[in-house]
Amino acid sequence: MAEVRINADSSRIMPKDRLIRAVKSCDILFSLLHDRIDRAVLAANPKLKAVASMSITPDNIDVVAATRRGIAVTVVPPIVAEATADLHIGLMIAVARNLVEGDRMVRAGMFPGSQSNHLAGSLLYGKTIGLVGGGGRIGRATARRARGFGMRLLYWSPRRKPEAEKELGMKWVSLEELLRESDFVSLHPPLNAETRHMISDRQFALMKPTAFIVNTARGPVIDEKALLRALKTKKIAGAGLDVFEHEPRLPAALKRMKNVVLTPHLGSAVMEVRDRMANIVVDNIEALLAGRVPPNCINPQVFA
């Protein structure tokens, strides 16, 4: 038997002071992606045995500090590709067809009429999508959906993916060519030193003024200040964003723009995936309680 305490407010990220108070009375901390598990949190409870995260990568966990303290850190495997690709296509449609702005207008009592050009947008059908990091799981899942819209598929990644090219009819091009030719620039790279701010002023200058950029990868892949400049000067037509450079904080100017669709990091937010993720976390915790190395432990040396 175990005593379980849950944060009942799922509408916001738990403040750090509350997280520190809560961790003082637990043996195992079940954390979510945006919970920042830093040295202060880890040091708050000398008896803490493990951090069982529902994140795929421990971006917000100080794994080095946890390892020094003998605290096991577990994650979940990458099982969010299909759900994230669904959202990615949803953002493309929403920003290209002005769905959010249309929803606001109807709720405000405005109805321009079905043949008015007031909210005329852009087709997806037959357009070119450029998948940056398109050889990975989410990029390929997005490409499969884009094929259903009759889109031309370009991709760039550091290494060519012949199997993806054969399966999906994707064409590998340089990043510069992808940016110049794409009607939708679709971002899927992992976040690392090479990809941080890989999309900045120079890259936006290469894009078509009618093109849209969509990001469901990691926020810092885009230089947010450069994005604001590109949107304000109409170097690009719009953006669909599920991730942000300093989330949960967003620039006020970004929130005011009508040609931007914003969602709060919803990539894995479908119950089928969340149930699988939660069950994997429970499997990790059960292994810990049984004295076994969990299947998704990223610092197994603490068991040595």
- Residues designated as active site: 218, 247, 265
Closest CA to 208 of 229, 183, 240: 183
As given in the structure block, the two tokens for residue 187 are 């971002």
Q: What angle do CA 257, 267, 281 make, to 5 degrees?
A: 145
* CB-based burial, 279-301: b 16+ in 10 Å, e otherwise: ebbebbbebbeeeeebebbbbee
Cis omega (within 30 of 0) for bond into 248 = yes
Helix or strand run (H / E) with residue 277: helix 271-289
Number of helical (H) and strand (E) elements in the chain, helices listed first: 12, 10
Count CB-CB contacts under 10 A for residue 28. 20
Helix or strand run (H / E) with residue 286: helix 271-289
Cα–Cα distances (Å) from 294 to 47, 285, 288, 302, in that order, read 19, 7, 6, 12
